[in-house]
Structure 1
Amino acid sequence: MPLRLCPPRLCVWEALDRLLLRRFRHPRAIPDLPVLAVAIDSGGHRTDMVMKFSAERLNQRVWAIKGRGSPGVPPWPKRPPKLRIANLAPVHIVSVDTLKHGLLSRCQIPACATSRSTAGCTSPTS
Protein backbone atom coordinates (compact mmCIF):
# COMPACT_ATOMS: atom_id res chain seq x y z
CA MET A 1 0.00 0.00 0.00
CA PRO A 2 1.76 3.17 -1.09
CA LEU A 3 1.81 5.90 1.54
CA ARG A 4 2.15 9.19 -0.32
CA LEU A 5 2.87 11.96 2.12
CA CYS A 6 5.41 14.74 2.37
CA PRO A 7 8.40 13.09 4.12
CA PRO A 8 9.97 16.11 5.89
CA ARG A 9 7.12 16.23 8.36
CA LEU A 10 7.45 14.15 11.51
CA CYS A 11 3.80 13.10 11.28
CA VAL A 12 4.57 11.08 8.13
CA TRP A 13 7.04 8.86 9.95
CA GLU A 14 4.67 8.54 12.92
CA ALA A 15 1.86 7.51 10.54
CA LEU A 16 4.11 4.90 8.97
CA ASP A 17 5.04 3.56 12.42
CA ARG A 18 1.32 3.15 13.19
CA LEU A 19 0.78 1.32 9.88
CA LEU A 20 3.63 -1.06 10.67
CA LEU A 21 1.82 -2.16 13.83
CA ARG A 22 -1.61 -2.57 12.19
CA ARG A 23 -3.19 -5.79 11.09
CA PHE A 24 -5.26 -5.76 7.91
CA ARG A 25 -8.54 -7.57 7.38
CA HIS A 26 -8.60 -10.09 4.56
CA PRO A 27 -11.81 -10.49 2.52
CA ARG A 28 -11.79 -14.23 3.16
CA ALA A 29 -12.29 -15.88 6.53
CA ILE A 30 -8.62 -15.94 7.54
CA PRO A 31 -6.89 -14.16 10.41
CA ASP A 32 -6.00 -10.50 9.91
CA LEU A 33 -2.68 -9.97 8.15
CA PRO A 34 0.27 -8.20 9.77
CA VAL A 35 2.76 -6.05 7.88
CA LEU A 36 5.67 -8.39 7.16
CA ALA A 37 7.98 -5.95 5.38
CA VAL A 38 8.13 -2.41 4.04
CA ALA A 39 10.24 -0.96 1.23
CA ILE A 40 10.78 2.80 1.13
CA ASP A 41 12.13 4.50 -1.98
CA SER A 42 15.34 6.23 -0.91
CA GLY A 43 15.70 8.27 -4.09
CA GLY A 44 14.82 11.93 -4.20
CA HIS A 45 15.39 14.79 -1.81
CA ARG A 46 14.84 13.00 1.52
CA THR A 47 17.34 10.15 1.28
CA ASP A 48 18.85 10.91 4.69
CA MET A 49 15.45 10.70 6.41
CA VAL A 50 14.60 7.40 4.71
CA MET A 51 17.98 5.96 5.60
CA LYS A 52 17.67 6.96 9.25
CA PHE A 53 14.10 5.63 9.54
CA SER A 54 15.06 2.33 7.88
CA ALA A 55 18.21 1.88 9.95
CA GLU A 56 16.26 2.26 13.19
CA ARG A 57 13.76 -0.39 12.05
CA LEU A 58 15.85 -3.04 10.31
CA ASN A 59 14.60 -5.64 12.80
CA GLN A 60 11.04 -4.83 11.60
CA ARG A 61 12.05 -5.45 7.98
CA VAL A 62 11.86 -1.81 6.94
CA TRP A 63 14.17 -1.54 3.95
CA ALA A 64 15.49 1.41 1.97
CA ILE A 65 15.34 0.68 -1.76
CA LYS A 66 16.65 2.30 -4.92
CA GLY A 67 15.31 1.43 -8.34
CA ARG A 68 17.55 0.65 -11.28
CA GLY A 69 16.10 0.32 -14.76
CA SER A 70 18.57 -1.76 -16.72
CA PRO A 71 18.59 -5.33 -18.06
CA GLY A 72 20.04 -8.01 -15.86
CA VAL A 73 19.21 -6.39 -12.53
CA PRO A 74 17.40 -8.91 -10.31
CA PRO A 75 13.96 -7.88 -9.02
CA TRP A 76 15.26 -8.15 -5.43
CA PRO A 77 18.83 -8.79 -4.25
CA LYS A 78 19.71 -12.39 -3.33
CA ARG A 79 21.67 -11.22 -0.29
CA PRO A 80 21.24 -8.13 1.85
CA PRO A 81 23.67 -5.39 0.83
CA LYS A 82 26.65 -4.63 3.04
CA LEU A 83 26.49 -1.66 5.35
CA ARG A 84 28.72 1.16 4.19
CA ILE A 85 28.12 3.49 7.10
CA ALA A 86 27.25 1.99 10.48
CA ASN A 87 24.38 4.33 11.38
CA LEU A 88 22.59 4.15 8.00
CA ALA A 89 20.48 1.39 6.49
CA PRO A 90 21.76 -0.71 3.60
CA VAL A 91 20.16 0.21 0.27
CA HIS A 92 18.52 -2.64 -1.63
CA ILE A 93 18.80 -2.19 -5.41
CA VAL A 94 15.62 -3.38 -7.15
CA SER A 95 14.86 -3.78 -10.83
CA VAL A 96 12.09 -1.36 -11.71
CA ASP A 97 11.64 -2.89 -15.17
CA THR A 98 11.18 -6.44 -13.89
CA LEU A 99 8.90 -5.36 -11.05
CA LYS A 100 6.72 -3.16 -13.27
CA HIS A 101 6.35 -5.97 -15.80
CA GLY A 102 5.42 -8.44 -13.05
CA LEU A 103 2.87 -6.11 -11.48
CA LEU A 104 1.25 -5.15 -14.77
CA SER A 105 0.95 -8.77 -15.86
CA ARG A 106 -0.66 -9.72 -12.53
CA CYS A 107 -3.11 -6.83 -12.80
CA GLN A 108 -4.09 -8.07 -16.27
CA ILE A 109 -3.70 -4.61 -17.73
CA PRO A 110 -3.41 -4.70 -21.52
CA ALA A 111 -0.01 -3.57 -22.77
CA CYS A 112 -1.56 -0.72 -24.72
CA ALA A 113 -3.12 0.68 -21.53
CA THR A 114 0.34 1.44 -20.19
CA SER A 115 1.47 3.39 -23.23
CA ARG A 116 0.46 6.92 -24.19
CA SER A 117 -0.81 5.79 -27.56
CA THR A 118 -4.13 3.98 -27.70
CA ALA A 119 -3.92 3.22 -31.43
CA GLY A 120 -4.91 -0.37 -32.07
CA CYS A 121 -6.23 -0.96 -28.54
CA THR A 122 -9.57 -2.50 -27.93
CA SER A 123 -11.48 -2.16 -24.72
CA PRO A 124 -11.61 -5.34 -22.62
CA THR A 125 -14.83 -7.30 -22.68
CA SER A 126 -16.25 -8.97 -19.62
Structure 2
Amino acid sequence: MTTDDERDALARELLRLSLPELVDVLRRVLPAHAEHGTTMPSTLVLAEVSRPPGGDSSSAQPFIEAVAWPDRDYYDGDFGPNAANLEQGSCPDCGLEATSTAKLAFCPLCGTLCRLT
Protein backbone atom coordinates (compact mmCIF):
# COMPACT_ATOMS: atom_id res chain seq x y z
CA MET A 1 0.00 0.00 0.00
CA THR A 2 1.27 3.47 -0.83
CA THR A 3 0.71 6.71 1.02
CA ASP A 4 -1.14 9.77 -0.29
CA ASP A 5 2.20 11.55 -0.61
CA GLU A 6 3.65 8.73 -2.73
CA ARG A 7 0.58 8.75 -5.01
CA ASP A 8 0.79 12.55 -5.29
CA ALA A 9 4.45 12.25 -6.32
CA LEU A 10 3.54 9.64 -8.94
CA ALA A 11 0.72 11.86 -10.23
CA ARG A 12 3.16 14.77 -10.61
CA GLU A 13 5.47 12.53 -12.64
CA LEU A 14 2.58 11.39 -14.86
CA LEU A 15 1.55 15.00 -15.48
CA ARG A 16 4.95 15.62 -17.07
CA LEU A 17 4.19 13.06 -19.82
CA SER A 18 2.71 13.95 -23.18
CA LEU A 19 -0.69 12.40 -23.98
CA PRO A 20 0.81 9.57 -26.10
CA GLU A 21 3.36 8.78 -23.36
CA LEU A 22 0.61 8.72 -20.71
CA VAL A 23 -1.52 6.41 -22.87
CA ASP A 24 1.50 4.12 -23.27
CA VAL A 25 2.10 3.95 -19.51
CA LEU A 26 -1.56 3.21 -18.80
CA ARG A 27 -1.55 0.52 -21.52
CA ARG A 28 1.07 -1.25 -19.41
CA VAL A 29 -0.93 -0.93 -16.17
CA LEU A 30 -4.69 -1.09 -16.80
CA PRO A 31 -4.88 -4.56 -18.43
CA ALA A 32 -3.19 -6.04 -15.35
CA HIS A 33 -6.33 -5.16 -13.38
CA ALA A 34 -8.73 -7.09 -15.66
CA GLU A 35 -10.96 -9.70 -14.07
CA HIS A 36 -11.24 -12.77 -16.31
CA GLY A 37 -12.25 -15.40 -13.79
CA THR A 38 -15.72 -14.00 -13.08
CA THR A 39 -19.03 -14.75 -14.77
CA MET A 40 -18.84 -11.30 -16.36
CA PRO A 41 -15.21 -10.53 -17.35
CA SER A 42 -14.21 -6.89 -17.07
CA THR A 43 -11.32 -4.78 -18.29
CA LEU A 44 -10.20 -1.36 -17.08
CA VAL A 45 -9.69 1.05 -19.98
CA LEU A 46 -8.86 4.70 -20.49
CA ALA A 47 -11.77 6.57 -22.11
CA GLU A 48 -12.47 9.90 -23.75
CA VAL A 49 -15.83 11.44 -22.85
CA SER A 50 -17.34 14.39 -24.71
CA ARG A 51 -20.66 16.19 -25.03
CA PRO A 52 -22.19 17.98 -28.00
CA PRO A 53 -21.58 21.75 -27.76
CA GLY A 54 -24.41 24.04 -26.64
CA GLY A 55 -27.60 23.21 -24.79
CA ASP A 56 -28.01 22.01 -21.24
CA SER A 57 -24.97 19.95 -20.29
CA SER A 58 -26.93 18.04 -17.65
CA SER A 59 -29.35 16.61 -20.23
CA ALA A 60 -26.99 16.08 -23.18
CA GLN A 61 -26.01 12.43 -23.61
CA PRO A 62 -22.20 12.11 -23.42
CA PHE A 63 -20.32 10.28 -26.18
CA ILE A 64 -17.81 7.79 -24.77
CA GLU A 65 -14.93 6.19 -26.67
CA ALA A 66 -12.31 3.84 -25.25
CA VAL A 67 -8.72 4.89 -25.87
CA ALA A 68 -7.04 2.36 -28.17
CA TRP A 69 -3.35 1.58 -27.70
CA PRO A 70 -1.16 2.75 -30.65
CA ASP A 71 0.55 -0.02 -32.63
CA ARG A 72 4.07 1.05 -31.66
CA ASP A 73 5.69 -1.68 -33.75
CA TYR A 74 4.10 -0.21 -36.89
CA TYR A 75 5.31 3.27 -35.90
CA ASP A 76 8.89 2.09 -35.21
CA GLY A 77 8.52 2.47 -31.45
CA ASP A 78 6.82 5.86 -31.72
CA PHE A 79 3.19 6.75 -30.98
CA GLY A 80 2.00 7.68 -34.47
CA PRO A 81 1.91 11.02 -36.27
CA ASN A 82 -0.56 12.86 -34.00
CA ALA A 83 -0.18 14.04 -30.42
CA ALA A 84 -3.88 14.07 -29.50
CA ASN A 85 -6.76 11.59 -29.62
CA LEU A 86 -7.83 12.59 -33.13
CA GLU A 87 -8.31 9.17 -34.73
CA GLN A 88 -11.68 7.51 -34.20
CA GLY A 89 -13.61 4.43 -35.25
CA SER A 90 -14.91 1.14 -33.99
CA CYS A 91 -13.25 -2.19 -33.38
CA PRO A 92 -13.99 -4.58 -36.28
CA ASP A 93 -14.29 -7.54 -33.86
CA CYS A 94 -16.12 -6.35 -30.74
CA GLY A 95 -17.60 -3.06 -32.03
CA LEU A 96 -16.19 -0.90 -29.22
CA GLU A 97 -16.02 2.77 -30.18
CA ALA A 98 -12.39 3.82 -29.94
CA THR A 99 -10.19 6.90 -30.16
CA SER A 100 -6.41 7.02 -30.39
CA THR A 101 -3.34 9.10 -31.03
CA ALA A 102 -2.63 6.83 -34.03
CA LYS A 103 -4.51 5.48 -37.04
CA LEU A 104 -3.36 1.93 -36.25
CA ALA A 105 -4.18 0.99 -32.67
CA PHE A 106 -5.18 -2.02 -30.61
CA CYS A 107 -8.66 -2.27 -29.06
CA PRO A 108 -8.25 -2.12 -25.27
CA LEU A 109 -11.11 -4.61 -24.82
CA CYS A 110 -10.28 -7.46 -27.22
CA GLY A 111 -6.81 -6.57 -28.56
CA THR A 112 -7.82 -6.47 -32.24
CA LEU A 113 -5.85 -4.11 -34.49
CA CYS A 114 -8.14 -1.21 -35.46
CA ARG A 115 -7.75 1.07 -38.44
CA LEU A 116 -9.05 4.44 -37.22
CA THR A 117 -9.76 7.57 -39.27
Q: Fold match, TM over 0.5?
A: no
Bigger radius of gyration, 1 or 2? 1
Higher relative contact order (CA 8 A, sep 6+): 2
More strand by share: 2
